[in-house]
Structure 1
Amino acid sequence: MAIGTIKTPPTPAASEGAQKDYTPALVTLTTLFFMWGFMTVMNDILIPHLRNIFELDFFRSMLIQTAFFGAYFVGSVVYFIISFKSGDPINKIGYKNGIILGLLISAIGSAMFYPATYINAYGFYLFALFVLGLGFTVLQIAANPYVAILGSPQTASSRLNLAQGFNSLGTTLGPIIGGVLIFKFFAGPDAVKVPYLMMAAMLVLLAVVIKFAKLPEFTNEETIERGRGALKFPNLTLGMIAIFMYVGGEVSIGSILVNYFGLAHIAGMEEHVASGYLSLYWGGLMIGRFSGAIYLSEINQQTKKIGLMTLAALSAFGVIYLANYLKGGMPLVEILPLLLFVAIAFVLFIVGRSIASRTLYLFALLSIGLLLITIFGSGPLAFWSVIGIGLFNSIMWSNIFTLAIDGLGKYTSQGSSLLVMMILGGAIVPPVQGILADYLGIQLSFIVPVFCYLYIFYYGFSGYKSTSK
């Protein structure tokens, strides 16, 4: 998932030569997107690990997501208040310094896992995750709009999808590498100590690289408007709920998949094996986002566009397969069903015809169908249905965001800040599903994300039309 505004500052249009100069900056930023994707999805590995260490029920283990994504809400509220009273903080210190600040805060949170293993208190792990989440909040607010303004406004959505694709590459490799490190290589009570120290060092190194990198500087003269402002627009307020539901549903599903794959009538997998298949769920987002970046680009010829989308999808699929093969020798035939979902997604892209609302409700509707199979099915059908949902999550953030800020004008930045707050869904929805998993079983608990996608379907079908002039 990615957070930020696609509003561009009032700077002169970039020339073709200037846009070429943005390539090194984009390459640097894609590394950043990869890192926070990698570390975010590590929560899905932490949940079963800490659940075993502290003998937690599903509700308390899901508090891992509450601590992490709750930080997004707290950080965004504080940011909004400061912006409202004193002006946009990122605009004052600059995008580059904002990114560096976010990286350093994230590094502190990651390093806190080291003392957490000695204190051996579940609450301290949650506090470390909260600090890590605060750092990522600053990163998301600064990096996403920065990517959007590194080029023409017409291709901002394409660049964001491209950056999000590398974010999804991180979420794809995270379960594989994290599963090996935590469940096998460093197995035991101290399993997270060294991996998170390594990630802290990488975050600091990335901050140093960005500090000395020659990144373009932009200024934004826009100020946050006082009063109700953006909240007067129903498409924004309803879109805020849609963002809440999207993040909540996506994170909740990923959080419980390792345990779901362990059910005897689903797959009966051990945790370190299941972590590899979890990467297929997040890998679907990578496939969809790279394909979406091409579909939203300025390529006019439909045949060429579909061809490049196919090439991007197969390349992403190859990365997913290679990573799993190197991890445990996974045969190619075992992940071929993922290509069926890719084909279905391509059909929906074509039917959607680049219309954000139509593509959104089509993808949401299919996700609901797959969740129902997950709940009432068994064996390979239920197994692959839940994995396929990841692919259809891929375009939801960008489409909801675009529809929610449409027509806001001078309230666009304020609306963007409000949308950022709604990543709170990742903190609230997983524990709700955890409670149902404790009392009704893991399989029936998937009814929670069903309601999330039902709302997203409503928003894409008609809710977005509730605009205020």
Structure 2
Amino acid sequence: TKLKALVTRFPKLIDDLPTINEKFAMLNTTVNPMLNTLGGGGNRGNQLIQFGGSCNSIGGTIAPILLGYLIGGSVQTAKVNDAAPAMIIAMAIFALAFLIILLARIPEPHMETADERAARLSGNTKKDPHGPMSFRHFVLGAIAIFFYVGIEVGIPNTANLYMSNLEWVGPVVAGTLVGFYWFLMMCGRLVGGAVGGRVSSKAMLTTVSLLATVFLLCLIFIPEDVRFSIPVIGAEVPLGMVFMFLCGLCTSVMWGAIYNLAAEGLGKYTPLASGIFMALVCGGGVISFIQNLVADKVGFISSYWVIIAGLCYLLFYALVGSKNVNRDIPTE
């Protein structure tokens, strides 16, 4: 009976996943430019994006805990009705967010005027020779996002595989320890939001890229037999894995900083630029695939050189590539 229920529901779940992912992509495509615009770009825009990311992390941390509390007991004996309160809470949050967005006066990056719309519909409009890809700092920023998502995903996933293969750690403890990385990401976003109004996106991205590189070098070169005890869960891990946790503090603020730098000065091209950004989150799959290929050849720890290469690109972008050299292009 259980197998029949699984076979019946699983295709439905797979069928719904593209729709869910599409909505999340649309949400990110609109939320990032909205927060950046509300902050007026610059430091304040980055600060609001960081706070938005921290709310996302807090929700991601609380949701499974709340769901587990509401369901209670064993998953095998749980019923769909047990999760009904969580679904009601989720729908209430969506309804509240809808009302706030509907009633709030949120400035748009660029709204098509009546004359522009009439000209476009009549076919008399002149094709714009420029677009987001005309801006060097945006193109390099989009590539930075590609690398960033691969970095964010690759660091904990590879650590999980590595620790799961250690007899004295195992998959259960490894999964718990990787959770520390995501917890530190949440903490990092809260800190990033708190200081984002005073620290520039360029300085923030430069600092965390350097720190993450140093942490990963420590992870690579500290011998495996040097261990660190974690009393909370009663386990020992290679000391290098502690630096993996700390990388969560660094990756936490990278998305907001990169987006803020890449979207600066785009004006009317910002909405399209946000769509391109979301398309390049595929780096999470591509970079992870490359890292796994390297891991198969040289081992899990040595595969982190792939991540370090990505961090070096982010450092280049922060120091050099983020400068807007196309200020002559009209954006109004």
Change (3 A) 1:194 1:361: farther
Change (3 A) 1:142 1:443: same
Change (3 A) 1:368 1:218: closer
- Match for residue 176 of structure 2 among 276, 299, 310: 276
Deviation at 1:204, TM superposition (A): 3.8
Q: Deviations over 1:15-57 (max 9, x none)?
A: xxxxxxxxxxxxxxxxxxxxxxxxxxxxxxxxxxxxxxxxxxx
Change (3 A) 1:399 1:147: closer
Q: Quick check: 1:356–1:399 contact (8 Å CA) kept in 2?
A: yes
- Match for residue 59 of structure 2 among 170, 176, 186: 170
Kindly indicate whether residue 23 of structure 2 is the aligned counterpart of residue 135 of structure 1. yes
- Match for residue 249 of structure 1 among 123, 132, 151: 151
Q: Quick check: 2:145–2:280 contact (8 Å CA) kept in 1?
A: yes
- Counterpart AA for 2:196: L
Kindly indicate whether residue 322 of structure 2 is the aligned counterpart of residue 464 of structure 1. yes
Structure (1/2) with the larger helix percentage:
1
Change (3 A) 1:387 1:355: same
Alignment of 1:318-467 (within 5 A): 354-377=199-222, 378=224, 379-380=227-228, 381-465=239-323, 467=325
Q: Which residue matches 2:330?
A: none
Deviation at 1:217, TM superposition (A): 4.5
Change (3 A) 1:198 1:256: farther
* Alignment partners' CA distance in 1, 2:165 and 2:63: 22
Q: Deviations over 1:224-266 (max 9, x none)?
A: 984441211111111110011011110122333333332428x
Deviation at 1:386, TM superposition (A): 0.7
TM-score (normalizing by structure 2) = 0.72
- Counterpart AA for 1:398: G
Deviation at 1:203, TM superposition (A): 4.1
How many residues are treated as equivalent by the alignment? 295
Q: Percent identity?
A: 26
Change (3 A) 1:212 1:463: closer
- Higher Cα Rg, which structure: 2
TM-score (normalizing by structure 1) = 0.53
Q: Quick check: 1:244–1:426 contact (8 Å CA) kept in 2?
A: yes
Deviation at 1:140, TM superposition (A): 1.5
RMSD value, Cα: 3.9
Q: Deviations over 1:43-90 (max 9, x none)?
A: xxxxxxxxxxxxxxxxxxxxxxxxxxxxxxxxxxxxxxxxxxxxxxxx
Q: Which residue matches 1:118?
A: 7
Alignment of 1:215-230 (within 5 A): 215-218=103-106, 220=108, 221-223=110-112, 226-230=128-132
Report the secondary structure of 1:245's partner residue. helix
Q: Quick check: 1:239–1:464 contact (8 Å CA) kept in 2?
A: yes
Report the secondary structure of 2:322's partner residue. helix
Q: Quick check: 1:116–1:125 contact (8 Å CA) kept in 2?
A: no
Deviation at 1:212, TM superposition (A): 5.3
In the alignment, structure 2 segments of 5+ residues that lack a partner are: 117-126, 229-238, 328-332
Kindly indicate whether residue 60 of structure 2 is the aligned counterpart of residue 160 of structure 1. no
Change (3 A) 1:370 1:124: farther
Deviation at 1:186, TM superposition (A): 3.0
Deviation at 1:288, TM superposition (A): 1.9
Q: Quick check: 1:173–1:279 contact (8 Å CA) kept in 2?
A: no
* Alignment partners' CA distance in 2, 1:417 and 1:232: 15
Report the secondary structure of 1:297's partner residue. coil
Change (3 A) 1:251 1:409: same
Change (3 A) 1:357 1:194: farther
Q: Quick check: 2:184–2:246 contact (8 Å CA) kept in 1?
A: yes
Q: Deviations over 1:290-328 (max 9, x none)?
A: 122221237xxxxxxxxxxxxxxxxxxxxxxxxxxxxxx
Change (3 A) 1:355 1:143: closer
Deviation at 1:389, TM superposition (A): 0.5
Change (3 A) 1:142 1:466: closer
Q: Quick check: 2:67–2:86 contact (8 Å CA) kept in 1?
A: no
